[in-house]
Structure 1
């Protein structure tokens, strides 16, 4: 390492091979990469192979994590066992109060050690009043670890208790149990305008070259049409991207088929959300005709953090319809 005239450290990396990008048609042999704190200064192939033996080394761009929740404290640590999403998600609400900086820093550090240089961070929060404070902490953790982050602000205005109306979901429970669930899970949501304004406030205070803020409708099951339409309009006006969970389980597929006369993808289209700024996470139960709708607009469909068999089920129709995945 050396000091440049600007006071920035410089360095040289050597490797037997270098893959310039995922789209590259060839690798570079005996590669030399000069860099500074501002970025890469030069890349070249070097005929001089003297010195360190780099033949078994490879330099490549860091990996990208297309969908993550920044769980620095693993769910198993507080009793949320890995099971069907409908049972697993409510179990995660038992997360004890923890420092949002430590949680994010721990998750980001694990990613960086695994070769990940950027992540879509779908933030988890049960209180809209604390979201701005938590976003500041996540931004600080990202800066300290050195990872590029798309910070997805969670937006919802529907019940978290199942996929039906809260009254029908609670009707079969004992009154004391129903009251306990209402107190913990059925708190009133903030108005749509307040939620959208908070996204912009977080962006004003936290965005930077390596930290981008996105709208995060948590899913069709938990968002009203008014919220989805409001997000679509706000995204169109600001150019801000949208990241949304979509058809993650068989039960969500069955609910969507019963809830919408058109397909759920068609419903998103009718609300104005389909567009170049939208990415859909999971998409495990997409059908071929829905993939064709997405492909027509080049929608992104990252099938992530689901079992291998589910990934295959989602990726196969996406790839045959040329949807980026």
Structure 2
């Protein structure tokens, strides 16, 4: 048997689950074994994993989760609330991509380049991956916040259909083909047609007019940055793009940061690339980011409506850094911090 961790990928047939398998392979993650789990409807499907092929198993078939060292979850909040504690109680580290655990006081919400230290306090054995748009946002604004604390953040997202999973991708593809062939379209996934359109809501708004997607940005940002005094307002929209989320952001630090200094702070942050430093027309787009691991930033400029405000544009791959890659990076960081190792007789080994 190969040395390394015994890994379970739960929700392996979804868009993020498949990307998790791809990222594990791409990064040569130290796996002794990898098993793919999904709903009963997907049992028996074959998935590529590097040069190997995995046969999908039913999550319900697991009688003893202690056979795993690490479980990467992307199976939705409802199933995560049931299954993540079962894995964690067995000594398996769970890294969950749903929103189920993000606001739990004892569950770290982690972007490794921003708050890796929070992994030291994962007492429940569960670590949450932030919302896909939140990850790109905090990567870009964290270095600004460390230089001068931010008092206000205004963010508008332009989120691709892959944020809705495979069904969102299929709906955009189907509607685009129908319109090019002069056929009518019927929305099934979204409340209105997504092809050649922009939807100003992602989900139902609450009594104050904000959707759950917007609330995630407004709460998760504070938890990751460790500052509940920041005021965040978000508008989340859906756009007819297959992969890649873009964000238009305005921040207000307590004291002004020079534009060149701000650009340099962002460029020096791990996992971030400022693309238009040499050419102003090279601001990033979703086309640039698909399949990439970095978060791209451009159009850093002064906000003339505010004494200290700065505006910027952020783009990231919502399936990779916005989900699968961040999950795997959390696991890699836990290995580096000696928080994750192969188990022996149901407990994590430490050296």
Q: Shared topology, TM-score over 0.5?
A: no
More helix by share: 1
- Structure possessing the higher radius of gyration over alpha carbons: 1
**TM-score scaled by length of structure 2:** 0.29
